[in-house]
Structure 1
Amino acid sequence: MTAAVLTRSEERLWGHPKGLYFLAMTEAWERFSFYGMRTLLVLYMVQELLLPGRIDNVAGMAGYRSVVEGIFGELSTQAFASQTFGLYAGFVYFTPLFGGLLADRWLGAKRVVMIGIALMTLGHFAMAFDYSFLIALLLLVLGSGCLKGNIAAQVGHLYERHEEQLCSKGYAIFSTGINIGATIGPLFCGLLAQLYGWHFGFGAAGVMMLIAAVVYFAGLKYFAEDRAAAPAGEVLPPLTRIEWRMIALVVFVLVLTMFQSFAYEQMFNVGLLWVSERVSLSIGGFAVPVPWFGAEDSFASVMILPVLLGLWAWQARRGKEPGDFGKLATGAAIMAVSAGMLALGSLLAGEGKVSILFPLIAYFLSGVAFMYQWPTALALVSRRAPAKINALMMAGAYLTLFAVGVISGFLARFYEPMGDTAFWTMHAAFSATGAIAIVLIAGPIRRRMDMLDG
């Protein structure tokens, strides 16, 4: 038993290493700030920052817009804001590859996480000023890259190899911290932005990152020592033909899950603009802050988990629990209904405003769809990817979210010319297509994977 792993009874709390709770609380505060800012971003750009007289205050905006439009073509204010949101949302899932490399090869996870916290804190505070808006986004992308994968890896470092089941429960506790932060952040930052202005909401996200820093530093003595860096010249054994075939099958399945993810990501991009413009938000004289719908998605993910675990256990006892492909298809179908609710609301509202019930149902369903899809996709990659590159394949799964962010930003340009009913119908069709495709290929792909594993 190594000294690097905290296993002495006095270093454990409720059966888990104390470091787990500090990591979970750090991630809760970080996600609080991240999702609080994320649900404000596209609204802030469309409703204030990109308006004439304000956009000129942003350092580097002219050059940035020239580059973006050089790639994606001329964009309206809404389309430019949505594409910027898509690029930000995408690169947040691209940079962790480099953060992991930095930790594994040179600095270690602890130092890189501390760098990430510092960068994200600066980024959130920089969002409070027009001038530094683009600088803020860059800092947040780089900071997230340093923090996201490495803090999750530190959870696993707390446990011995033989503690597989306990480690899984530890990750469940860690994920609970993520979902709590993702739920509360949009509620708090959205309310502050509505009552006192956008910059108060962004500033609150910065304060939350300071709290995350305090919690992380307080827990340093309870964390495992960083793993030794892999030798720079280490060469893995070459992949066999069978392993390459398995990789191709896994990548193919991940590509199919992107159809659902296009609609899911759009809920936080054009979806929030749609809520702001097309929904009657007044309840008893109180105007519901638009970012609260982003919180509802996370809240639904938290609330539905025990229900799904109970449902799947009940189905398993009867030999009818859906496998990975069944769950992926179910998630895509639910997401199709979620986007369809926005299309139906748009159709029924005509030129007026739609009842708040439509987005309430839609964002709850999107949270349920996420719990069917993303954990299942990660589990499939973890089980099926070759052992030689299993960790790399897990990181590669997040690259699908990078592609989804960029592509969903591109698709957002069609919101204004198509109209909201057709736009959301298109996204419902994307998800439905993904569900049908997964159902059609499930049997042959599963049999092929089983044969390759055998």
Structure 2
Amino acid sequence: MSIDASTTMLADDISDTDSAFLGHPKGLGYIVFTEAWERFSFYGMQALLILYLSSYLLLPGTIDNVIAFSGFRAALESLFGPLSTQALATQLVGLYIGLVYFTPVLGGFIGDRYIGRTKAVIVGAILMAIGHFLMAIESAFLFALLFLILGSGFLKGNLTAQVGQLYKDGDQRRDSAYSIYTIAIIVGAFAAPLICGTLGEVFGWHYGFGVAGIGMVIGMIIYITGRRHLPPDTQSRADDKQVRALQPGDGKRIALILLLLAITALFWTAQTQVWNTYPIWVKGRVDREIFDLTIPVSWFQSIDTLAVLILAPVVLWLWKRQSNRNTEPSDLTKISIGFLVFGSACLALAYSEISDSSEKISLIYPVIFHLICSVGFLYASPTILSLVSRSAPQSVNSALVGCYYLAIFFGGIFSGWLGRFYEVMAPSSFWLMHGAIVASGGLLILILRGPLLNAFVKK
């Protein structure tokens, strides 16, 4: 699946004079607002999921009403061993997060080759809306997750690809278009826990899930309304593409890129824990009282997004200043720094448990955690994706970019498996373990920096 290839094929159908939306094609506006609402629904549901499972749905008496769950649990335990209620909750969330990032690889292929990206996005939106509303029906929980996973697979990659299709090759507006698109993601991710999370925690789980479903419906309506402004679909065939054969040395480069992506799974193991065991820790260990008000646990997910939004300009300014002085770190060094910084964020959580002798942990510690880990995320995640897409051989470029999301898949599942240890370890030891996991990834990159440079530096 290649955005650039599709853009070239559609060049005759794209107008470089369309600037109706902030100087960009009108279609970008429809895509951006669709994505904002889709992310609102996605993160709204995800902010509630671990709390919903661990404190309600999986409890005896309630879980008995979920269709086919006993067989599903038996299958899980055959893979991961016996699971307590809380361990089952974290494993489920880890599996869900992992699959949500695995299915876009398949959904993008289907949209690119068979049904077209527009139809794929609409199918995905419908499936996700059904999934969100099914979350309000306890007995249909497994079907709800299935619809959400499949829907995200169809929608996520295809909608992102359509941004690039709006522009001819060489159009300088494309980079800023993706920046606007990223802002839409951040806005949706920031608002979702505040609205869906509050409704779910304070008024009832089903209200939160229902509003997430409404958000997805709004996004779908926006997308369908603007359909005539979107890029036309062109299904590509293998024999239509002029694929360049692998060159001498590409095999070694591919192997080293895959090695880096395997190490990246260690980063995502800690990162996805923010949506998994971390809310359980916040609920049980953090003093959330401010002026007789109790801060909902889900709001901490908004703090995480807000920290990225605030610190991104600071990190970019720092890189620009370092570049002007010829001191900007290499991409591999940035990635390693990101891993180590994220590891230090986990150490901050461990320190809060060790240093704070009160019954509850001060609110300042999770705030510090989010500020630190957002810096680690900004150094690591975008740099990895950019590095892989730029360095991978052209004939397998899309496949290796897809492997970036497979790292999130494995990291999510591993984080779910690690969640079981929260019950048997001291919280400080649990977060020290995660700090060591992600920091070890940073150290591995430094150790292997020499060989990895052969993959990412063209001589």
**Mapping of 1:217-232 within 5 angstroms?**
217-231=224-238
Pick one of 80, 90, 93 that aligns with 1:85: 93
Q: CA deviation at 1:447?
A: 4.6
Q: Which amino acid in 1 is paired with 2:166?
A: L
Alignment counterpart, residue 102 of structure 1, candidates 97, 103, 110: 110
2:94–2:412 Cα contact (<8 Å) kept:
yes
Matched to 1:291, the amino acid is: S
Instruction: Pick one of 154, 179, 183 that aligns with 2:162.
Output: 154
Structure 1 residue 7 corresponds to structure 2 residue 16: yes
How far apart are residue 171 of structure 1 and its match? 0.7
1:366 is matched with 373
Aligned residue pairs total 450
Decide whether the 8 Å contact of 2:67 with 2:139 is kept in 1. yes
Structure 1 residues 235-265: Cα deviation after superposition (integer angstroms, max 9, x where no partner)? 9554344111111111111222222221111
| Aligned partner letter, 1:200 | Y
Report the CA distance shift for 1:231/1:387 in structure 2 as closer, same or farther (over 3 A).
closer
- Cα deviation, residue 126, structure 1: 0.5
Whichever residue aligns with residue 4 of structure 1, its letter is D
- Distance between the aligned counterparts of 2:237 and 2:190, measured in 1? 37
**Alignment equivalent of 1:434, drawn from 425, 430, 441:** 441
Q: Deviations over 1:372-414 (max 9, x none)?
A: 1110000110111001111221112111101111111111111
Residue 47 (structure 1) shift: 0.5
* Residue of structure 2 aligned with 1:121, choices 117, 123, 129: 129
- Selected match of 1:75 from 83, 88, 110: 83
Correspondent of 1:405 among 396, 409, 412: 412
1:249 maps to what in 2? Answer: 256
**Unpaired runs of at least 5, structure 2:** 1-9
SS at match of 1:15: coil
1:422 to 415, 418, 429: 429
Whichever residue aligns with residue 100 of structure 1, its letter is: G
Residue 152 of structure 1 deviates from its aligned partner by: 0.3
- Paired residue for 1:378, among 363, 381, 385? 385
| CA-to-aligned-CA distance 1:132-165 (integer Å, 9 cap, x gap) | 11110000000000001000000010000111x3
**2:138 match: secondary structure:** coil
Query: Could you tell which deviates more after superposition, 188-197 or 170-179?
Result: 188-197
The one-letter code of the counterpart of 1:215 is I
Judged with a 3 Å threshold, the aligned counterparts in structure 2 of structure 1 residues 60 and 438 are, in CA distance, closer, same or farther, namely same
Q: Give the partner amino acid of 1:7.
A: D
Distance 2:290 2:34 in 1: 35
Match of 1:274 in 2: 281
Inter-partner Cα distance in structure 1 for 2:456 and 2:38: 38
In the aligned structure 2, how far is the partner of 1:447 from the partner of 1:396?
Answer: 19
Q: What is the one-letter code of the residue matched to 1:140?
A: L
Residue 169 of structure 1 aligns with an amino acid whose one-letter code is S
Change (3 A) 1:91 1:360: same
Provide closer, same or farther for how the CA distance between residues 448 and 264 of structure 1 changes in structure 2, counting only shifts above 3 A: closer
TM-score by length of 2: 0.94
- 1 CA distance for matches of 2:110 and 2:456? 33
User: Would the aligned equivalents of 2:128 and 2:148 in 1 still touch at CA under 8 Å?
Assistant: yes
Could you tell me whether the CA contact under 8 Å between 1:6 and 1:222 is conserved in 2?
no
Preserved contact between residue 5 and residue 225 of structure 1 (Cα < 8 Å): no
Alpha-carbon separation, structure 1, partners of 2:205 and 2:34: 25
8 Å CA contact 2:132–2:213 kept in 1: the answer is yes
Shift of 1:119: 0.3
* C-alpha distance in structure 1 between counterparts of 2:174 and 2:372, whole Å: 29
Give the distance between the partners of 1:235 and 1:68, measured in 2 at CA.
44
In structure 2, C-alpha distance between the alignment counterparts of 1:402 and 1:253, rounded to whole Å: 15
In structure 2, distance between residues paired with 1:414 and 1:80: 12
Distance 2:61 2:218 in 1: 35
CA contact (8 A) 2:131 2:143 kept: yes
Give a deviation string over 1:34-67, Cα, whole Å, max 9, x none: 0111011011100011111101111111011010
* Residues 1:50 and 2:55 are matched in the alignment: no
Counterpart CA distance in 2 for 1:235 and 1:160 is 19
Letter paired with 1:194 = E
Unaligned runs of 5+ in 1: none
Match of 1:194 in 2: 201
8 A Cα contact 1:6 1:12, kept in partner? no
Q: What letter corresponds to residue 77 of structure 2 in structure 1?
A: E
Instruction: Give the TM-score, by structure 1 length.
Output: 0.95
Counterpart amino acid of residue 75 in structure 1: L
Please say if 1:40 is aligned against 2:40: no
8 Å CA contact 2:261, 2:403 repeated in 1: no
8 Å CA contact retained: 1:17, 1:158: yes
Counterparts of 1:196-345 in structure 2, within 5 Å, are 196-231=203-238, 236=243, 238-345=245-352
> What is the aligned counterpart of 2:400 among 386, 393, 417?
393
- Work out the CA distance in 1 between the residues paired with 2:71 and 2:357: 39
Q: Identify if the C-alpha distance between structure 1 residues 339 and 5 changes in structure 2 by more than 3 Å, giving closer, same or farther.
A: same
Q: Which region of structure 1 is more displaced relative to structure 2, 135-144 or 209-218?
A: 209-218
Q: Contact between 1:193 and 1:200, CA under 8 Å: does it hold in 2?
A: yes
Deviation at 1:337, TM superposition (A): 1.5
Superimposed CA distance per residue, residues 287-336 of structure 1 (whole angstroms, 9 cap, x where no aligned partner): 10101111111111111111111111111110011111121111111111
Q: Compute the displacement of 1:105 (Å).
A: 1.7
Identity across the alignment (%): 41
Residue among 53, 73, 76 paired with 1:65: 73
Distance in 1 between residues matched to 2:194 and 2:15, nearest whole Å: 36
Is the contact made by 1:6 and 1:224 (CA closer than 8 Å) also made in structure 2? no
Q: 2:28 aligns with which of 5, 15, 20?
A: 20
1:356 lines up with 2:382 in the alignment:
no
CA distance in 1, matches of 2:127, 2:279: 27
Task: Work out the CA distance in 2 between the residues paired with 1:406 and 1:350.
Answer: 33
C-alpha separation in 1, matches of 2:228 and 2:379: 37
| Separation in 1, partners of 2:455, 2:64 | 56
| Structure 1 residue 166 corresponds to structure 2 residue 173 | yes
